[in-house]
Structure 1
Amino acid sequence: MKLNERIIFFFLHNLSHLAGRINPYRRTVWAQKIGGFVYRYIPTRKYLALKNIDRAFPNKSDYWKTEILKKSYTFFMEQFLFFFGFPESYNQTNIKVKNKSLIDEALKQKKGVLYISGHFGFWECIIAWFGKQKYPLTGVAVRQKNVWAHQFFIKKREWSGIKHVFRKDALDKMNRVLDEGGILGLASDQDVKNRGVFVRFFNILSSTPKGAARFYQQKGSIPIFGVCSKEGHNQFLIKFKDIPKESLADTETFTQAYTKLLENEIRIHPEQYFWWHNRWKTPPLVK
Structure 2
Amino acid sequence: MSRKKRKTGRPLWHPVYWTSWSLVFTLYLISLLPMSTKQNFGAWLGQVLEGKLKSRRKVADTNLQVCFPEMDKASRSRLIEANFVACTRGVMESLHAWWRDMSGYCANAQVEGLEHLREAQEKGKGVLLIGGHYSIFDFALPLIACHLKKPGYMYRPNANPVIDRMIERGRRQHPGIRGFTKRELRPMVSYLKKGGEVWFACDQDFGDKTEVFVPFFGVDTPCITSPSYIAKVSGASVICVSHLRLPDGQYQIRFSPVQEGFGQDSAADTEVWNRFLEGAVREHPDQYLWLHKRFKTRPEGAARIY
AA aligned opposite 1:7: T
Match of 2:286 among 263, 266, 271: 271
Task: Tell me, yes or no, if the aligned pair for 2:42 and 2:92 is still in contact at 8 Å.
Answer: yes
Greater shift in the superposed pair: 54-63 or 11-20 = 11-20
Q: How many residues align?
A: 285
Deviation at 1:249, TM superposition (A): 4.2
Q: Could you tell me which residue of structure 2 aligns to residue 199 of structure 1?
A: 214
Residues 1:179 and 2:201 aligned together:
no
1:99-110 alignment to 2 at 5 Å?
99-110=113-124
Deviation at 1:198, TM superposition (A): 1.0
Gaps of 5+ in 1: none
Deviation at 1:257, TM superposition (A): 0.9
Q: Could you tell me which residue of structure 1 aligns to residue 162 of structure 2?
A: 148
Match of 1:211 among 226, 230, 239: 226
Match of 1:9 among 3, 9, 21: 21
Match of 1:122 among 136, 142, 154: 136
Greater shift in the superposed pair: 259-268 or 93-102 = 93-102
Q: Could you tell me which residue of structure 2 aligns to residue 234 of structure 1?
A: 249
1:28-107 alignment to 2 at 5 Å?
28-86=39-97, 87-88=99-100, 90-91=102-103, 93=105, 94-107=108-121
- Structure-2-length-normalised TM-score: 0.86
- Structure-1-length-normalised TM-score: 0.92
Residues 1:220 and 2:231 aligned together:
no
Give RMSD over aligned pairs.
2.0
Partner SS for 1:225: strand
AA aligned opposite 1:228: H
Partner SS for 1:232: coil
Residues 1:204 and 1:179: Cα distance change in structure 2 (over 3 Å): same
Partner SS for 2:71: coil
Residues 1:245 and 1:180: Cα distance change in structure 2 (over 3 Å): closer
Gaps of 5+ in 2: 1-12
2: CA distance, partners of 1:15 / 1:27: 11
Task: Tell me, yes or no, if the aligned pair for 1:139 and 1:184 is still in contact at 8 Å.
Answer: yes
Deviation at 1:248, TM superposition (A): 5.7
AA aligned opposite 1:28: Q
Deviation at 1:66, TM superposition (A): 1.1
Greater shift in the superposed pair: 9-18 or 44-53 = 9-18
Deviation at 1:112, TM superposition (A): 1.3
Residues 1:136 and 2:136 aligned together:
no
2: CA distance, partners of 1:100 / 1:70: 33
